[in-house]
């Protein structure tokens, strides 16, 4: 049952285009006790069907710039191959966990600061 709840919550986040891995990976590590590498592997398998479902809706609603998406997609595949090599061959699970946590922390701080900036602009009538 816990896996279903984790899947549903991360699926909602994925559908929004935010990235369900931000929910899925920590949930698998903390609630299911899997290693960082296993959680990342599960995330990759999980990503394929959720991305296809989300992509279908976003294309139908004309929210995809195909040329930009293809350029980013092809360069992302190269980066993903390099990242997968590093994650499975060169980096320990604890270091990966710290890197992922640091990344999430930076994104969180950025979003908080962006929220303060938007509030400031709104209160000054700039928006």
**How far, in Å, CA of 15 to CA of 27, rounded?**
18
Question: DSSP E strands: which ranges in the chain?
Answer: none
Q: What is the pTM of this model?
A: 0.62
DSSP string over 4-41: HHHHHHHHHHHHTTS-THHHHHHHHHHHH---HHHHHH
Tell the residue number behind the tokens 């293809």, with chain if given.
70
Q: For the chain, what are the domain ranges?
A: 1-60, 64-91, 93-127
Per residue of the chain (127 residues), give pLDDT as tens. Answer: 888 888 888 888 777 777 778 889 989 999 999 998 899 889 989 888 888 888 899 899 999 999 999 999 999 999 989 988 888 888 887 888 888 889 889 988 998 999 999 888 888 776 5
């Amino acid at each position: 049952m816990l896996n279903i709840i984790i899947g549903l919550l991360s699926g909602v986040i994925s559908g929004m285009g935010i990235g369900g891995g931000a929910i899925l990976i920590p949930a698998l590590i903390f609630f299911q006790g899997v290693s960082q590498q296993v959680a990342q592997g599960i995330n990759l398998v999980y990503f394929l069907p959720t991305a296809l479902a989300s992509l279908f809706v976003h294309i139908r609603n004309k929210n995809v710039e195909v040329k930009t998406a293809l350029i980013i997609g092809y360069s992302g595949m190269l980066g993903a191959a390099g990242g997968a090599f590093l994650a499975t061959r060169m980096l320990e699970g604890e270091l990966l966990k710290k890197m992922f946590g640091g990344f999430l922390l930076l994104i969180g701080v950025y979003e908080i600061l962006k929220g303060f900036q938007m509030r400031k602009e709104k209160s000054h009538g700039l928006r």
